[in-house]
Amino acid sequence: MDVTIVLSWVVGLLWTATVLWAAFAVFRASRNKPVKAGLTITICLVIASLVLTVVNSGLVFIQPQERGVVISALEPDGYREQELTAGLSWVIPFLETVEIYPISYQTYTMSIATEEGQRAGDDSIAARTADGQEILVDASVIFAVDPEQVVKVHIFWQGRYEEELVRAQARSIIRDAVSQFNVNEVVSTKRFELIEQISQEMTVVLEKNGILMVDFILRNITFSDEYAAAVEQKQIAEQQSQEAELLVEKKVQEAEQVRQEAQGEADAAVIKAEGEAAARILEAEAEAEALLVQAKVLADYPDLMTYVYITKLSPNVEVMFLPYDTPFIFPLSSDGNLSLDDLGTTDVPLESTEVP
């Protein structure tokens, strides 16, 4: 608890006790019943009250988030050049007073919403872009009094730095910055560049006046009803265009899929045809090779074809009648049986033969 507050309570109670005691002493004296040592006690109470009052007037407790500026009748310039830092300090009673300034972060908000800003009602900033569009800007400035320049702030601004410095400079700088960008740039492509420019300019201006710039927040941008309607129509058109592009892309993909499927089927047909052709080639080569072998065998055994022909006859045929002047188809061996070893001999004419 602040010791100066406790001391103020003590001083108040002491002065109350002094007044009550003096009144009681006067009342007793008026009835010819004076209080013993009443005057002495009254004088002591008055002296104690005066002493504590003087002490209380000279003691100043500065909170950690505060700094104090001493206004002094004893200084040539009317103030101490050194500010009071956190803790308990002493000033000359009745000749010096202390002005307290917060050094913690403060936020000043200018908003179109009636209950959000420091001022009631619409406090947004009307600004016009480079292409002539009027916009309404909601913004917040986070700042703090420089602890080392509290005296300077008091000399130049006293307690008016929020309204007359922060607010006024912010509105002016925002308008100047917005006028350098087109409305589309403010909304999208160069929004962060706009914020950075405003923040830098605010930092320079506030630091010259003993205020530290902490952050600048571009809360919202509102357009006129006409421009908002135009933007909405443009967005709808862009959305429809994107949908059309997606549809075209889908159709292209479907066509490509069909083409690839057709290509795959064509490739499969080609591969199948090539396989069949290769099979036919192999089959033809095998047949040709077989024919070559057969031709070679026939060249060595001319009557082999006749033998094959006979073996292909119906197995039920046991006797074959031939004209008398027709020779045997195959010559017989000495024992009457057909032998492949005799296929190369000369035909012998017989009138008939029995085929087993």
The string of pLDDT tens digits covering residues 99-147 is 999 999 999 999 988 888 888 888 899 999 998 888 899 999 999 999 9
Position with higher pLDDT, 42 vs 192? 192
Contact 97, 71 (CB under 8 A): yes
pLDDT at site 355: 41
- In 133-198, the DSSP E strands lie at 134-145
Average the pLDDT over 219-239 and give the result.
75
Q: Give the distance, in angstroms, between the CA of residue 265 and the centroid of all CA atoms in the same chain.
A: 46
Average the pLDDT over 308-324 and give the result.
59
Residue 218 host element (H or E) = strand 211-223
pLDDT at site 29: 79
Per-residue pLDDT at 45 exceeds 50: yes
Query: Which of 175, 196, 194 is CA-nearest to residue 185?
Result: 194
pLDDT at site 332: 46
pLDDT band of residue 68 (cuts 50, 70, 90) is: very high
Residues 329-355 pLDDT 10s:
555 455 544 444 544 444 444 343 444
CA distance 202 to 179: 16
> 278: which residues sit within 8 A by CB, 6+ positions away?
none
250: helix, coil or strand? helix
Tell the burial category of 181 from Cβ atoms under 10 Å away from its Cβ (0-12, 13-18, 19+): buried
CA distance 25 to 18: 10
Q: Which two tokens stand for residue 299?
A: 């060249």
Per-residue pLDDT at 265 exceeds 60: yes
- Residues paired with residue 89 on neighbouring β-strands, in sequence order: 60
Per-residue pLDDT at 39 exceeds 90: no
CA distance 101 to 147: 9
- In the numeric block, the tokens 């070559």 are attached to 292
> Which range scores top for mean pLDDT: 51-60, 188-197, 224-233?
188-197
Query: Which of 351, 340, 356, 352 is CA-nearest to residue 308?
Result: 340
pLDDT band of residue 14 (cuts 50, 70, 90) is: confident
